[in-house]
Structure 1
Amino acid sequence: MLVLLDIGNTRTKYCFVNQGKRSPQQAILNQSISNAFLCENFSSVLKVVVASVSNTAATDQINAWCLGNNIVYQQVYSEIKKNKIVSGYEDPNQLGVDRWLALIGAARLYPNKNLLIIDAGTATTIDFLLASGQHQGGWILAGVKLLISSVLSETTQVKANLEEKESLAFGFNTSENVHNAAWAATIGAIHLAISKIENQGLILDEVIITGGNGDSLAQLITHKSTVISELVFNGIEAYI
């Protein structure tokens, strides 16, 4: 049995693979990763496969724990090419591994399709992948919560209710204005990406959304989309 770990900015998602079948993902706050947690949850696995956007403290701890328990440790990194997928970055190592694995995972699910892939978490990333497997680059913008918090932290007179429902409507109070603008900015970027693709004369076969805000974004964009919460794990599986 293997365990796959996707270490993000604040949370680590993980799932098990046994005889080719993947369990539903679970999640833990990064700060809660400890040797006790690893022993309790992963002591029966033969191999740990890790993808991490930046948290070297967590990967170092997991690697050391694996070494001490005779468990194989493998970390996945962005690279120039994997199978048919070719990175669009001048320096492929600079492409976040979560984005890289989302590209691979999307292509495994939708081979030979033009794909727009949106990962809506702490940051919102937008990437375009040609049916040939060539990554056409993308955008990174602050996630919805970061967009909201940046306004609140930099403007002393602006206050907002943190429980506002997602909406693209014009707001009738400051709280609605701040929240709805964050959603509008994010949706606007997605719609612009779709327009740029279509203006090139290309057919966009699928819009794939993942990340914590995925369901909300899917309800707000006008283009048909599919939410795949475990997209990164589909990418990690290409490495096992």
Structure 2
Amino acid sequence: MIVLIDMGNSRVKYCTSVQGKLTPINVVDNKEFTCRLFENQFHKSSKVIIASVGDKHLTDALFDWCKANNISYQEISSEKQKNGVVNGYQVPAQLGVDRWLGLLGAAANFANKNVLIVDSGTATTIDFLGADGQHHGGWILSGINTLVTGIIANTSYVKANSNEPVSLSFGANTSENVHNAAWAATVGSVNVGISQIQHQGINLDEVVFTGGNALKLSSLINYQNKVIPELVFHGLQSYI
């Protein structure tokens, strides 16, 4: 049994790969990612593969636990190329590993296809993967919640609820204005990305959403799209 782990800024997602098939994804807060969890969940594993943009103290604790229990440990970093996918960054290691794994996951799901990948979590990232495996770069913008909390934190009189429904309509109060604008800005970025690809005369085969806001965001995009919550884990499977 091989454990695959995607560690973000606030949450850890993990599953296992058994004979090439992924088990359901588990999600815990970073503060719950402790030796007790390792003992309960990972003790039968032969190898742990992790990609992290989170706290190094947590990955260090996992490494020490794996070493003490004779379990193979591998931490993934972004590379120049793998499995026919070519990193578009001038310095490949500077591409976030979650984005790198999203590219690998998209290539595994959509071989020889032009794919726009949208990962919507704490940040929203948008990346274009060409049919030839070339990564053509992308964008990083604040995630929906970060957009909302950012404007609240930096203005004195702007207040917003935390439970506004998803909408692109013009708001009738300040809370709706803030939330709806966050969705509109994100949808606008995705639509500009689609337009840029099309204006280059490229046939965009797939738009893929992943991340915590994937389902909500995908419903606001008119272009045909797919939601693959486990996309990063498909990328992690490339390292088994």
* TM-score, with structure 1 as normaliser: 0.99
**RMSD (Å) for aligned C-alpha atoms:** 0.7
Q: Which amino acid aligns with 1:77?
A: S
Provide the residue aligned with 1:23 in structure 2: 23
Query: Which contiguous aligned blocks of 4+ residues in structure 1 show a shift greater than 2 angstroms?
Result: none
- Separation in structure 2 between the aligned mates of residue 144 and residue 185 of structure 1, nearest angstrom: 9
Residue 120 of structure 2 aligns with which residue?
A: 120
1:48-127 equivalences under 5 Å are 48-127=48-127
8 A contact 2:197–2:204 mirrored in 1: yes
Q: Aligned with 1:220: secondary structure?
A: coil
- Unaligned residue ranges in structure 1 (runs of 5+): none
CA distance in 2, matches of 1:54, 1:137: 23
1:181-226 per-residue CA deviation (whole Å, 9 max, x = no partner) reads 0000000000000000000000000000000000000110111110
Deviation at 1:19, TM superposition (A): 2.2
Q: For 1:200-211, what aligned pairs fall within 5 Å after superposition?
A: 200-211=200-211
Contact 2:10 2:54 in 1 (8 A): no
**Whole-Å Cα distance in 2 between the matches of residues 103 and 17 of structure 1?**
19
Q: CA deviation at 1:20?
A: 2.2
- In structure 2, the partner of 1:234 is 234
Which amino acid is 2:14 matched to?
Y
**Match of residue 132 from structure 1:** 132
Shift of 1:140: 0.0
Unaligned residue ranges in structure 2 (runs of 5+): none
CA shift at 1:74, angstroms? 0.8
- How many residues are paired up? 240
Q: How does 1:208-223 map to 2 (within 5 A)?
A: 208-223=208-223
Looking at structure 1, the residues matched to 111 and 45 of structure 2 have their Cα atoms a distance apart, in angstroms, of 31
Amino acid at match of 1:212: G
Q: Which amino acid in the other structure matches residue 193 of structure 2?
A: A
The answer as to whether partners of 2:211 and 2:229 remain within 8 angstroms in 1 is: yes
CA–CA separation in structure 2 for the residues paired with 1:27 and 1:65: 20
Residue identity over aligned pairs, in percent, reads 52
Q: Deviations over 1:126-159 (max 9, x none)?
A: 0001000000000000000000001100111111
TM-score (norm 2): 0.99
CA–CA separation in structure 2 for the residues paired with 1:22 and 1:162: 33
